[in-house]
Structure 1
Amino acid sequence: MWAAAQGLNASVFLNFLHFFQGVLQDCVLSLELKIATKQLSLKQEGKPINIICPHVIERHLIQLKPLWTHFCCQCLVSKCLHTTMGFLKKTGTEHWWLERHLKDPFVKATKRQHYRCRSAFKLLEIDDKLRILRPGLSVLDCGAAPGAWSQVAVERVNALGTDPAVPTGFVLGVDLLRISPLEGAVFLSEADIADPGTLRTIQSLLPAEKVDVILSDMAPNATGIKELDHQKLINLCLGLLNLSQSILKPKGTMLCKFWDGHESRLLQNRLKEQFQDVRTIKPQASRKDSAESYYLARLYKGK
């Protein structure tokens, strides 16, 4: 059967075919009824009716039925093929993503070192090079879910106090999503960082109401429209920058993710107004085809 040769499910194809044939027949019968009604109306009005002579109309309808049936079948087949190809394309994309994911050395390392996701290695790389996390520091992790950056922060600031020879730090994670508990960190789940109530809660949880480091791997819900998503993320970062005036200690540090776009320079300039040192970083753990980078702002000028 042709449908089977094209990889289509024969049963589904026949069901659709029968459905459309029934619809076509109903349309033809409806047309015949309308013609008969119009013919009767013309007859009652004493007007000529030879222009819609029943036997002529009937003959043409009989000839049209197989033609329209064939046309509907062709449309149906075309639609089925389009759907099938779309499905195959999607499956191919998913297969490519899965294959890349499984071959990713950072994914393998994530499992081996028991981090919650591969993003942990972005922060590890940045901290290894620039030492932004040190024992005894207090850290606010914004957009913390699923908690990988908080895992790194707990280790680096000695939040568990595992090393008695150095100061013990503090890690607070905040996210709109629920975050699974992590030993050594305090999580504020299902909380909007932009909500004034959240700020008050954060300050009440911090040992000294302020932090040494603000980390942000936040990202908005993507729309697929590059510029719109870029603008939304920049706005999140700007909001966090405003928040830092209330909770970041003098000479503190802020690390925030952004996506490349025309507003990136605006965020960079705003950071330079409030920090003495601002640099752009793209860790190796960030995929090469990703638009993400990070601004690292150090030595906060605030009081």
Structure 2
Amino acid sequence: MSEEQRQPAEGDRGFGLDFDFEEQVRGLLAEDAYTVRPSPVPYPAIRRQGVLERRRRVAVAGAALVTLAALPVGAYALGGSGTSDTAAPRPSVSAPPSPTPTPSATVPEAARPVTAGQLMDGITWAQASDGLEKCVAYNRAGVHSPGATGLGKASDYRIILAMHSTGDSNAPGDGIFVVAVKKDATPKPVRLICTIKDGEAQGLNTSVGSDAPEDAGAVFADINSGKLYQQSFLDRGNWKLPFRWGIIGTVDPSVAKVTVSYGGSTGETALDHGWFVAYGTLNQQVTKAPHIKGYDAAGKLVYDSNQDKYYQKTLP
């Protein structure tokens, strides 16, 4: 349409300039409706920020859990008021530490014999020493004098012989003999021969002081050791064989060797702190006591029981 053809409406006459300005404004507003628009909401950025915040909170919570887990069980308690209150340490539920063992005092025991052979017939040291303990207790139980201790303590003694004992008509039932002497012979020597049967002391023969007369020889057989090498006279001629035998006695310091033969065979011997000990096995019935000889360091015969007026050479 040409400029001449654009004529204002009837109602617009007299306002030509206003009409043109209004038209221009409307055109500009129409253009701004497409070019001027609000900035879009940054949704991806907001979502990314939210994810990072949640991760941060989870990390903080996890760190708190790790810190709590690292504390010892029962070490501290947390208050329930929202603030943490430090509590007194609680004892651990783990097992208490083992107390340091107190070393026990060494219990004195009897002295051992000088040779292993003096513990015969499979008798162990534990059995022999236990037998001696029972013998001493057996004696103590039979002592009724106020304050009396009887034979004293087992640790005061030296065991010089332990062997099988054969029961007979006078004392039925097999067992073991335990022979011991006081370690310290002052003021008087003490010797005991104890019979153990069924784990209990059932007979005790003791000697306090020396039995040897002033004119005794260099070797002196204990006058009560006959119970070790003979059976009851009630069974004379009818002994149980084979028969384990033994004999003990004292020796002078000059004696270096002792031999004992019995029933045609020579037994084993040992010298033990001023005592001689001999033992063997009898396989035949006999009527004569063991034959004892003593020698000095040069091998010279210094004692022969066949020449000893105090020695009983035949059996009852």
TM-score (norm. length: structure 2): 0.27
Higher relative CO (CA 8 A, sep ≥ 6), structure 1 or 2?
Answer: 1
**When you count strand as a share of all residues, which structure comes out higher?**
2
Bigger CA radius of gyration: 2
TM-score (norm. length: structure 1): 0.28
**When you count helix as a share of all residues, which structure comes out higher?**
1
